Amino acid sequence: MKKGLSRVLLSLSFALLSAMGLGAQTVVRDTVVVYFNQGSTDIVPELKGNSEALESIVLAVKRYASVPEFHIYIKGWASPNGSSVFNKSLSEGRASSVLDYVSKQVSWTLPGSSYTLDGKGVDWDGLAENLAAGKDFTGRDDVLRIIRDIPVWISDGKAVTGGRKKALMDYRGGRTFLYLTEHYFPQLQRAEVVMEYVPQDGGRSVSPVETVPAAVSDVAAPDDSIFISERPVPEYLPVYRLALKTNLLADAALMPSLELEWLITPSWSVSAQGAVAWWSIRPQHRYYQIATIYPEVRWWFSTREAWHGHYLGLFAGGSWYDLENGGRGYRGEGGFVGLSYGYMLPVGKRLSLEFGIGAGWLFTEYEEYLPVPYEEGTHYVYQQTSRMSCFAPLKLKLALVWRFGDWSDKNRK
């Protein structure tokens, strides 16, 4: 009897010790938030508490990335500014930016099995939660009703006719939407980083933000249950990646112009521009001939949505000309390189107006000549060859823009 009881007690003790050992192996789940500027995927350590948040992420990766249980989930979010596809791409870019930043800081590339990236798009649920917990303001209850009751998209079966964002922008003439843009949207422009790992040698969480212990048995393949739920967007508003333009100022100067621009990402685009004038008024032999062509790369910043906001550009190109007005003529060719600044303002579903200026370095070589009447024709008497290089204004633009090339998911199906 005593021997049997001893065996039972020994088995119970072993089971208890095993359970205690398993319980000690807990997984720490740290959540850290990294914020972004509007319309940007660039990491800015000085923004809000980014410096401390990034430091804690890097420290956790350095300590625990080699542990089998380690996994990092990065969710990118965006505010309602901009189109749905623009914000989806923006949120994906923010998640990728955090991963790239961490990889550079630890000087190695994390294996694909140890991280999950997810671009969530617009965080409508987060906006509603922040509004409910924030200070009251005129129309707050109406804004909450719009977010909770109006679908993201309203369609007539053929095209999108409205939706949640449009209702917000129309409410109180847009004044409330501007208030939200200033006071609430910056909190949505972020990436949430969830790190799961087993602290080694009694280690503790390295995150100063939040820790949520979980049993080892709870750690499994990630699913949306650990994220804020969001219904899939059934339809997207058009996202135009191409724009065809003409500079109205050049056109008014009888120098027809044409430009094609491609929006590669929410923050970058490339364009090719050209203009030609080939006029001659006889018998005075007055020439106005000029052709110019140049590519440009642009960085968009402080954008409210695609094709709406400010940009800085870098351009370079060449020009050929023959200018004469009944006297000495100048015929030659040259090149230029410069910087530009512009602003684009949508004025319709597909139409925009673009304002721009540019300046840079101009260099040219040209021949001077005199048109001399001879019998029934004209001789061009060469005078001299000259060269010139200088810093000068190179661009003045008031362009009419037609946007096309809908690359939304709706058209890719």
Q: What pLDDT was estimated at residue 158?
A: 73
E-assigned strand segments in 2-82: 26-35, 71-78
Phi, psi of 265 (to 5 degrees): -135, 175
Structure tokens at 161: 């006719």
* CA 288/CA 147 separation, integer angstroms: 59
Structure tokens at 365: 């070589």
Tell how strand 190-197 and strand 26-35 pair up.
antiparallel
- DSSP character at residue 286: E
Residue by residue, DSSP assigns 160-177 as EEEEHHHHHHHGGGGHHH
pLDDT of residue 101: 92
Per this entry, what is the length of the chain? 413
Cβ-proximal residues to 133 (8 Å cutoff; 6+ apart), any chain: none
Q: For position 221, what pLDDT does the model report?
A: 33
What is the per-residue pLDDT for 410?
A: 43
Tell me, what's the pLDDT at 281?
67
Antiparallel, parallel or unpaired: β 115-122 and 71-78: parallel
Residue type at position 40: S
Rounded CA-CA distance 151/230 in Å is: 12
Which parts of the chain sit beneath pLDDT 70?
1-25, 200-239, 281-285, 375-377, 407-413
| DSSP structure class, residue 388 | E
Q: Which residues pair with 26 in a beta bridge?
A: 215
Going by C-alpha positions, the residue among 165, 164, 171 that lies closest to residue 138 is: 171
pTM: 0.52
